[in-house]
Amino acid sequence: MLDITAISRFAPYASGTLWIDGQSLIRRAVYALPAGITVVRVQYRYKRHDGVAMLSAMKFIDLLIPARRAVTRATFGASRTIHFPDKEFDPEYVLIH
């Protein structure tokens, strides 16, 4: 479990708690307003692709109105590995191309 705090006062949430598993993957999180009111819970799901865990779905549960429990799901499609040449990360190369 990891507690986080926003640095900017313009961040959408002031703080949160992340639950991280033994593979360093976030499994669930809760986010709160500056007053400490927890407003959203997020659940994360992963799948393996070429031996690497890739985020496959997220479930957002709005906690502000418990009676209505608004739920939003984000599902990510097929993933593929793309390799970029090292020069693509060189600022001087990028500026002139």
Query: How many domains would you assign to the chain?
Result: 1
Residue 51 pLDDT: 85
Range of the domain at 51: 2-96
Question: pLDDT tens string for the chain (97 positions)?
Answer: 999 999 998 998 999 999 999 999 999 999 999 999 999 999 999 998 888 899 999 999 999 887 776 899 999 987 777 888 888 888 888 788 7
Residue 37 pLDDT: 92
Q: pTM of this prediction?
A: 0.75
Tokens of 33: 């307003």
DSSP state letters, the chain: -EEEE-SSTTSS-SEEEEEE-TTS-EEEEEEE-TT--EEEEEEEEEEEETTEEEEEEEEEEE-SSTTT--EEEEE----------GGGG-HHHHHH-
Find residue 32's DSSP bridge partners: 15, 38
Residue 33 pLDDT: 94
